[in-house]
Amino acid sequence: MYNFGEELKKEREARNISLEEISKATKIHINFLRAIEENNFEALPGEFFIKNFIKAYANYLGLDEREVLNRYYQIRPKLNFKSEGALKQIERKNIYFYLKIGLIFLIVLFFAYFIIRSIF
């Protein structure tokens, strides 16, 4: 079976380039680069980021990004990505969390205003 990540890793090692070097140059977290080399695409933030991470990785190694992406597209249908609905639900939970924090902050400011006003 074709191993996309292993092929990229071999290319990187043949050029004697470390993951740290690629991470610094591309500003992609080293854990994401490891996930690509291990074909662990579920650990990455989403399809848009996966494509851009692969492009940046390929460019840094001096590989043709289109060719590398085409090889990725060959294995993509076999991958099991999180559903868009699950991702939207996670985003919604994050929004509610920040709204709650903002509301608490406003309440604290409101009481602080009246306490300070009553003192002066």
Q: CATH code at 43? A: 1.10.260.40
Determine contact, residues 44/82, Cβ cutoff 8 Å. no
Regarding whether 89 and 63 lie in a shared domain, the answer is no
pLDDT digit string, tens, across residues 52-61: 999 999 999 9
Regarding whether 48 and 26 lie in a shared domain, the answer is yes
Regarding whether 104 and 57 lie in a shared domain, the answer is no
- Split into its structural domains, the chain has a count of 2
Mean pLDDT of 39-43: 88
Regarding whether 54 and 11 lie in a shared domain, the answer is yes
Regarding whether 35 and 94 lie in a shared domain, the answer is no
Model pLDDT, residue 83: 47
Residue 18, domain extent: 4-78
What SS3 class is residue 61?
A: helix
Determine contact, residues 50/35, Cβ cutoff 8 Å. no
Q: What is the DSSP string of the chain?
A: ---HHHHHHHHHHHTT--HHHHHHHHT--HHHHHHHHTT-GGGSS-HHHHHHHHHHHHHHHT--HHHHHHHHHHHGGGS-PPPHHHHHHHHHHHHHHHHHHHHHHHHHHHHHHHHHHHH-
**DSSP conformation class of 77:** G
Residue 10's pLDDT band (boundaries 50, 70, 90)? very high
Regarding whether 40 and 64 lie in a shared domain, the answer is yes
Regarding whether 52 and 30 lie in a shared domain, the answer is yes
For the entire predicted model, the pTM comes to: 0.63
